[in-house]
Amino acid sequence: MAGAFRGGFTRYNGCVSFRIRPFQQAEFETLWRMDQVCFDPQLAYSRPELAFYMRRPAAFTLVAEGDGPEAGTNGGSAGRILGFIVAEAGRKTKTKTKTGHIITLDVVPEVRRSGVGSALLHAAEEQLLGAGAATVELETAVNNMAAIRFYKQKGYFVEKTVPGYYSNQLDALVMRKAIGSSGDRVIGSSKDR
Ligand SMILES: CC(C)(COP(=O)(O)OP(=O)(O)OC[C@H]1O[C@@H](n2cnc3c(N)ncnc32)[C@H](O)[C@@H]1OP(=O)(O)O)[C@@H](O)C(=O)NCCC(=O)NCCS
């Protein structure tokens, strides 16, 4: 799992060094706090919500763990969790194709634009592909321009808008990407918010 990033460290733009690995239960509180930082209160998960999604039978969580002095002011990034992704395999669409789902993707503000989000998404897509998913989907808020640009850059396309998806107040974009057997591996889109 975690594709090419497992066991090795990745650098992007020569600045942040990190590795992707599976989440450990003791890290739950760290991940939940990160989620509070990454999302507005309207969108951030409560502890039970995050735990619920992470514990779903086909769900998995990967973290990016820092390996250098680059990020942050409290002793650098070594050993620090810089981001995480929760994904779920096994959703079936109307056409019976297996669809993976990105539940959430969070990167701490200090290391954004350093490739951490890209590495987490790529590792999750590889794992979803291994689980038989042909496509990946997610939801993101219509006003989250950073996420929309990020996912479009990763090959996701906007499938539709869901009015009032968030608390009946904020619309969501459903984004989708084909990752399957057409040879177009890990092409472009989705999250629960
Ligand atoms: C969206 C998010 C996960 C991106 O993570 P990241 O580690 O900064 O992403 P990367 O560094 O891998 O970015 C890869 C590319 O995506 C695009 N991108 C990422 N953030 C962008 C931004 N704020 N504006 C425009 N393009 C952006 C760029 O093309 C970028 O490549 P570049 O830096 O070489 O130009 C991060 O901003 C985040 O955690 N945001 C808050 C939580 C959130 O919105 N999650 C997604 C909700 S669905």
Total number of domains constituting the chain: 1
Q: What mean pLDDT, rounded, does the chain reach?
A: 85
> Of the residues 150, 151, 170, which should be mutated to test ligand 1's pocket, given the most ligand atoms within 8 Å of the CB?
150
Rounded mean pLDDT, 134-148: 96
Per mean pLDDT, which range of 9-13, 25-29, 39-43 is the poorest?
A: 9-13
Q: How many helices (H) and strands (E) does the chain have?
A: 4, 8
Residue 141's pLDDT is 96
* Percentage of the residues of the chain whose pLDDT score is greater than 90: 71
Please return the burial class of 9, using the count of CB atoms within 10 Å of its CB with bins 0-12, 13-18 and 19+: middle
- CATH number assigned to the domain comprising residue 48: 3.40.630.30
Is the beta carbon of 123 within 6 A of some atom in ligand 1? no
Q: How far is the CA of 140 from the centre of ligand 1 (A)?
A: 13
Residue 180's pLDDT is 77
Residue 5 has pLDDT above 50, yes or no: no
Q: How far is the CA of 170 from the centre of ligand 1 (A)?
A: 21
Residue 189 lies in a domain: no
Residue-number span of the structural domain to which 21 is assigned = 3-133
User: What is the spatial distance between Cα 138 and Cα 159, in angstroms, rounded to a whole number?
Assistant: 10
User: What is the spatial distance between Cα 57 and Cα 36, in angstroms, rounded to a whole number?
Assistant: 24
